[in-house]
């Protein structure tokens, strides 16, 4: 999606992730307030759960990458498969939880979807900003 993303330095990526976490919490707090005013209270709880799940997923991904890097494994195909399998498993579990919540209590489940979407939008905006600032877009 972003041609220059793979060329970003590690300090820049760390800054993007920190900015994403802070921005997602701020935007999420605003979404929770709007949810409390316009929707059932469980929708606000769902938004908080969605943001929390996204942040936990990010931390697991970060820990998984750090763990893989410390093993000294050089085969990139094996590393990608390992990280991809773990990531796909986490996303499958989160998807099952969200679908279950939508079935059990629609406002709660939809609120969780909104929280996850907020995190992803904030992440994409921050990555785009970093790529544009680095000048590696083209």
What is the SS3 string spanning the chain?
CCCCHHHCCHHHHHHHHHHHHHHHHHHHHHHHHHHHHHCCHHHHHHHHHHHHHHHHHHHHHHHHHHHHHHCCCCCHHHHHHHHHHHHHHHHHHHHHHHHHHHHHCHHHHHHHHHHHHHHHHHHHHHHHHHHHHHCCCC
pTM of the model: 0.80
- Average pLDDT estimate for 89-114: 93
For the cut 90, the answer to whether the pLDDT of residue 98 exceeds it is yes
Report the largest interatomic distance among the alpha carbons of the chain, rounded to a whole angstrom.
52
Report the domain count for the chain. 1
The verdict on residue 60 lying in a domain is yes
The verdict on residue 1 lying in a domain is no
The verdict on residue 28 lying in a domain is yes
The verdict on residue 120 lying in a domain is yes
Residue bearing the bigger pLDDT, 44 or 135:
44
Domain range spanning residue 25? 7-68+75-134
Q: Per-residue pLDDT tens for 21-76? A: 999 999 999 999 999 999 999 999 999 999 999 999 888 877 776 666 555 555 66
Q: Per-residue pLDDT tens for 10-26? A: 677 778 888 999 999 99
For residues 55 and 115, the answer to whether their CB atoms sit within 8 Å is no
Mean pLDDT of the chain: 83
Distance CA 51, CA 120 (A): 10
The verdict on residue 23 lying in a domain is yes
The verdict on residue 114 lying in a domain is yes
| Spatial CA neighbour of 123 closest among 46, 10, 35, 18 | 18
- Average pLDDT estimate for 83-111: 90
The verdict on residue 86 lying in a domain is yes
The verdict on residue 53 lying in a domain is yes
pLDDT of residue 76: 66
């Amino acid at each position: 999606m972003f041609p220059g993303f793979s060329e970003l330095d590690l300090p820049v990526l760390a800054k993007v992730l920190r900015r994403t976490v802070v921005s997602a919490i701020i935007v999420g707090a605003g979404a929770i307030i709007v949810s409390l005013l316009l929707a059932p209270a469980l929708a606000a709880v769902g938004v908080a759960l969605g943001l929390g799940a996204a942040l936990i997923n990010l931390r697991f991904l970060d820990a998984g990458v750090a763990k893989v890097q410390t093993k000294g494994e050089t085969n990139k195909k094996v590393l990608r498969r390992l990280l991809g399998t773990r990531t796909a498993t986490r996303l499958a579990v989160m998807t099952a939880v969200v679908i279950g919540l939508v079935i059990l209590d629609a406002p709660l489940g939809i609120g969780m979807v909104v929280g996850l979407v907020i995190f992803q939008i904030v992440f994409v905006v921050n990555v785009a900003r970093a790529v544009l600032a680095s000048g590696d877009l083209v």
